[in-house]
Amino acid sequence: MFDTVQEALNAFKLGEPIILVDDEDRENEGDIVFPVSFATQEKINFCAKYARGLVCIAMHQTIAKQIGINPVHTNHADPFHTAFYDSIDAIPALGITTGISAKERAITARQVVNPSAKPTDFIKPGHLFPVVAKEGGLLVRKGHTEAGVDLCLLTDLAPAAIICEIMDEDGDMLRRNGLVDFAKTHQLKMISIEQLIEYRKTFAKDLIINAVEQEIDQHQSTDNSKESIALISEAQLPTEFGLFKSLVFQNSNTNESHVVLSMDSEKPNKPIVRFHSECLTGDVFGSVRCDCKAQLNNALEQIAKNKHGYLIYLKGHEGRGIGIGQKIAAYHLQDMGENTFQANLSLGLPEDDRNYLDAIAILKHLAVNDFSFITNNPDKIAAIQNAGFQFEQIIVPPFVTEQNKKYLQDKASIANHKITL
């Protein structure tokens, strides 16, 4: 009836939904569960269309504290004492209108696990329902909330998971036999909470506490990196778009060097800013699998026309942060039919492993606080918003070729880039 815990963990680590079933003498229910780090419009819509239950976000207490949500006070009539907290939507600046669509609930969910997330990123009440796990996880409380968080920590993911009860077509809860059929129909791994508890007792009794501490340490060390950027060299750089000043900044912690092309001949104009992730295949070799070179040239052209702006060319971002070797391996998987994000996952890598803390530190070094920001990427918008800058967004027109059309469609539908094809 059930798969092994290791099979479920392998699927979960790749962002695939699994089914978690609790005791027949408890709720006797099955939930769809997947990591929030991999939340997409498609996965949220799957919950709404096929599972039909309440879409909740199970999270560790550290995340609830970071985003500033509080428990919903009740009379504790719920026999299982589920820890519901303030319902949330992300703010409109992150791409939210009403907050109810599958796409917008996915945006809200992903913002929850953004290391830079803060209370002002969210509106309360909203359309996503946080439930907070007990400290100690399944060894303390045998609920889907704790199971979702434990799964994340067992797979080294941010400790938050989407959970959604599975209902039958007639609106009743789906029980064991029905859940088995559901799992077969949708090709999902299914395990019980009891299996997961035994796995923890045997292999990972102390993992939860350690993993949370590592998560906190990682966030703190990331924040400290903001102070590690220094200007190490500069010179004039004539280009086909005009005369720029080139500045090289280095992160003393990572030794990564980033190049800024700046133009400030007429400072009264509000500067234009672009964060550009390095792309050897596109920017240097002219590959048309992506639109990176076209975006680079467009940004430099707009800055030159405005006579004031900064293009920050970010090293370490090749292939959305996975490096040139793995990027080419991902290209091979794309040639076999996988999309750009699934290819990364198939290699055991994140869909997107970039952050923009160095770029933000560079802007602060340059005292650039109010600007026009060229991007279609909601993660870049979130980074700028969280850093407290004043900005207006400039949407990048799509640079479509026959070879990159599918890539651009996937960026729009999966990663919520503002691209209209």
DSSP 396: P
Backbone angles phi and psi of 371, in degrees to 5: -160, 170
Cα 345 from chain centre: 13
In a 3-state reduction of DSSP, which class is residue 191?
Answer: strand
Q: With beta carbons less than 8 A apart as the criterion, state whether 101 and 63 touch.
A: no
- Strands 242-251 and 272-277, bridge-based pairing: unpaired
Q: Under 8 Å CB-to-CB from 1, ≥6 apart: which residues?
A: 176, 180, 190
Query: How many CB atoms are closer than 10 A to CB 252?
Result: 12
Q: Which residues are annotated as catalytic?
A: 352, 354
Six-digit token pair at 96? 């939210």
Intra-chain end-to-end CA distance of the chain, in Å: 45
Query: How many CB atoms are closer than 10 A to CB 308?
Result: 19
Q: With beta carbons less than 8 A apart as the criterion, state whether 313 and 297 touch.
A: no
Q: With beta carbons less than 8 A apart as the criterion, state whether 5 and 201 touch.
A: no
Cα 118 from chain centre: 15
Six-digit token pair at 359? 């770029």
Six-digit token pair at 252? 């003393």
* Cα separation, 57 vs 72, whole angstroms: 15
